[in-house]
Structure 1
């Protein structure tokens, strides 16, 4: 590699619900690395992908794929057995993070705080009846809940529940995207996202990005529509609270064995305590995404930052 520029294939698109977001993330990665003069091409995950990659043998594959096709660990496991070098967490670690109930348990076991929750399958919901399931849930949790698919991203299928009568519809919306729904006690406070990058000294938390959606809910449209959400980087919280949020994001990154980059979604309650919600093994990299905003806030440009991530993969780190 000495004296040469790496060849990179950026994977984007796919057939998940987050296809359009992935295409936008992929374009941003391509643009950033191309500015360095690197040989960067794109590819979609299809029946020819693995054959083409094995024939081409790029120096690095960057899976800028969101949703199941890029984050559930399956494609990454195939890249593992193919011997191809790629950016991001390996297959088994990605599978842990993709499953929100599993990720919450791992982070809790590692000493992190995460809201109380119940996981409900579509089959059980149908068999025992909505009324029975809801009465049981509300017997141990308040009506202030968040219902989300147990696996998925970009807030698709997520509902904020204020009253018990909203719960059946919220569960059905979640079941549209996954066979399991996570019913989580809602923590009221400041929403933040904390990116984590692996470096020479280990995992490092980037500045927390504070999220203030104009609608009051950080849903799909609020994430990817310019102007729909205000972001503050660094977050407008005391330094010790920001440090605690960063520590929690690093705990999640390490506990699940994530690699190169990740992003933890957290909420900080009124007492300044951060709560872990989920981790993303391939954070969005669009023009409105949070990890790029955090990187830019540190004075780094995206080209050099993405190059550094790529070089870590090339070095086998």
Structure 2
């Protein structure tokens, strides 16, 4: 055999507000892949959804650019790139966070072309992305979570903002949270402390989605766990704790604030650690997840509270990201994580 390496197309960029995070994740993943085992072909996608050719894509990935430059293409996917994906690639790794990447759209596109890929499938990606569906499925499966309500933009035609604010503040107390249903990396999330901040939170939330999640404020520690499905079963990492100086673990705290502390492993009792692992597996299976996910928790050991905040079906892989760091603490390297994801993804064809 002239080349027995597995050929992987690494998608990055994309149309969502998490475009920049995708570049950071893809750069880390590209570096971590064992080049003795894999040929990695970066495939950039600009903010309008146009795919960039392979030569330019690699230059972009290996540069320090914060986003994919706009393409001059008139078609989303060029004929040459389509033929490359269909005929010369064993696997696609869609390292795309948020809408048009983590919500099932790119997964459905790849399935239509009969191209294998790493990560959750169309349905589990869609459920994991849409917090309304996710929370309803968690509720059905008795997975503990904060009290919430789904609020659509059309609901403002029935009640005034003051009436809606009064209703939510009576139900959840002050403060409470407003979140776009379909967004990640804490983008568009706001803590509501009064009517003025509620109006601002609605305006920002509706920039990203026509459906919002209104959720009670949980005064608790923020912990995360990582899930990796392998050919021999499901592995759950030790839990890690996030300590942010901001009001909550927002976008700035995740990717820009050097003051945010990541404590791995989190100082919790063996009972709490075991419960987090049990809930992680239950949540992972509840949405039918495949390959990988990260679970976010609210934990108050004194009150014996362990609540799932959300599941992320394509977690970040930046130098600040918990997913690879949690497994590193267990002695599982970044490269070994990628090896496991490749193996279980290729097994789909069996």
- TM-score between the two structures when normalised by the length of structure 1: 0.94
| Larger Cα-atom Rg | 2
Assess if the C-alpha contact under 8 Å between 2:97 and 2:184 holds in 1: yes
Structural RMSD (CA)? 2.0
Flag the 1:53–1:222 CA change in 2: closer, same or farther, 3 A.
Answer: farther
Partner of 1:301: 333
- What is the rounded CA distance, in whole Å, between the counterparts of 1:85 and 1:285 in structure 2? 21
Flag the 1:146–1:29 CA change in 2: closer, same or farther, 3 A.
Answer: same
Partner of 2:124: 93
- What is the rounded CA distance, in whole Å, between the counterparts of 2:304 and 2:195 in structure 1? 28
Match of 1:284 among 303, 316, 324: 316
Partner of 2:171: 140
Partner of 2:70: none
The alpha carbon displacement at 1:278 in A equals 1.1
Q: CA deviation digits over 1:129-155, x for unaligned, max 9?
A: 101112222332212311111110010
- What is the rounded CA distance, in whole Å, between the counterparts of 2:247 and 2:146 in structure 1? 20
- What is the rounded CA distance, in whole Å, between the counterparts of 1:118 and 1:295 in structure 2? 34
Range that drifts further, 219-228 or 92-101: 219-228
- What is the rounded CA distance, in whole Å, between the counterparts of 1:237 and 1:129 in structure 2? 44
- Detail structure 1 runs of 4+ shifted over 3 Å in the superposition: 34-37, 52-57, 162-165
Assess if the C-alpha contact under 8 Å between 2:206 and 2:212 holds in 1: yes
Equivalences, count: 317
Partner of 2:59: none
Structure 1 SS opposite 2:171: coil
Partner of 1:119: 150
The alpha carbon displacement at 1:44 in A equals 2.4
Partner of 1:102: 133
Structure 2 SS opposite 1:194: strand
- What is the rounded CA distance, in whole Å, between the counterparts of 2:223 and 2:149 in structure 1? 23
- TM-score between the two structures when normalised by the length of structure 2: 0.85
- What is the rounded CA distance, in whole Å, between the counterparts of 2:86 and 2:8 in structure 1? 14
Q: CA deviation digits over 1:262-315, x for unaligned, max 9?
A: 011111124232111111110001110110111111112211221121111112
Segments of 5+ residues of structure 2 without an aligned counterpart are 51-75
Assess if the C-alpha contact under 8 Å between 2:6 and 2:39 holds in 1: yes
- What is the rounded CA distance, in whole Å, between the counterparts of 1:55 and 1:119 in structure 2? 40
Query: Is the aligned partner of 1:184 residue 2:215?
Result: yes
- What is the rounded CA distance, in whole Å, between the counterparts of 1:128 and 1:216 in structure 2? 29
- What is the rounded CA distance, in whole Å, between the counterparts of 1:52 and 1:111 in structure 2? 46
- What is the rounded CA distance, in whole Å, between the counterparts of 2:37 and 2:85 in structure 1? 23
Partner of 1:48: 77
Structure 2 SS opposite 1:248: helix
Partner of 2:60: none
Range that drifts further, 159-168 or 137-146: 159-168
- What is the rounded CA distance, in whole Å, between the counterparts of 1:52 and 1:154 in structure 2? 33
Match of 1:222 among 214, 228, 253: 253
Segments of 5+ residues of structure 1 without an aligned counterpart are none
Partner of 2:342: 310
Q: CA deviation digits over 1:184-225, x for unaligned, max 9?
A: 011111101111111244322111110001334211111112
The alpha carbon displacement at 1:164 in A equals 4.8
